[in-house]
Amino acid sequence: MSVTNDLLQAKESILEARFERRNLLKTMLGGAVAMGAGGLLAGCGGSGGSSNSGGVSDADILNFALNLEYLEAEYYLRATTGLGLQAADVGANPGAVTGGSAVPFATTAFQEYANEIAADELAHVRFLRSALGGAAVSRPVINLDTSFDAAASAAGLGPSFDPYANEVNFLIGAFVFEDVGVTAYKGAAALIDSSATLEAAAGILAVEAYHAGVIRTVIYNIGGSAVTTTQALSDLRDSVDGASDLDQGVTAGGVANIVPTDANGLAYSRTTAQVLSIVYLGGSGSGGFFPNGLNGAIS
For 132-177, what is each residue's pLDDT tens digit?
Answer: 999 999 999 999 999 999 999 999 999 999 999 999 999 999 999 9
Low pLDDT (below 50) residues in the chain: 1, 3-4, 11, 14-49, 53
Which pLDDT score, from 0 to 100, does residue 55 have? 81
This prediction's pTM: 0.85
Report the alpha-carbon distance of residue 81 to residue 203 in Å, rounded.
Answer: 26
| Residue 293 within a domain | no
Which pLDDT score, from 0 to 100, does residue 297 have? Answer: 97
Domain count, the chain: 1
Residue 92 confidence (pLDDT)? 97
User: Which domain range does residue 8 map to?
Assistant: 3-279
| Assigned domain for 189 exists | yes
Q: Does 295 fall in a domain?
A: no
Quick check: is 284 in a domain?
A: no
pLDDT tens per residue across span 264-284: 999 999 999 999 999 999 999
pLDDT of residue 209: 97
Does residue 175 lie in a domain region? yes
> What pLDDT does 243 receive?
85
- The reply to whether 259 falls in a domain is yes
294 domain-assigned: no
Long-range contact list for 80-88, CB < 8 A, 24+ apart? 80/7, 80/111, 80/114, 80/115, 80/118, 81/4, 81/7, 81/8, 81/118, 82/4, 83/4, 85/122, 85/125, 85/139, 86/8
User: Which pLDDT does position 64 carry in this prediction?
Assistant: 98
Is residue 49 situated within a structural domain? Answer: yes
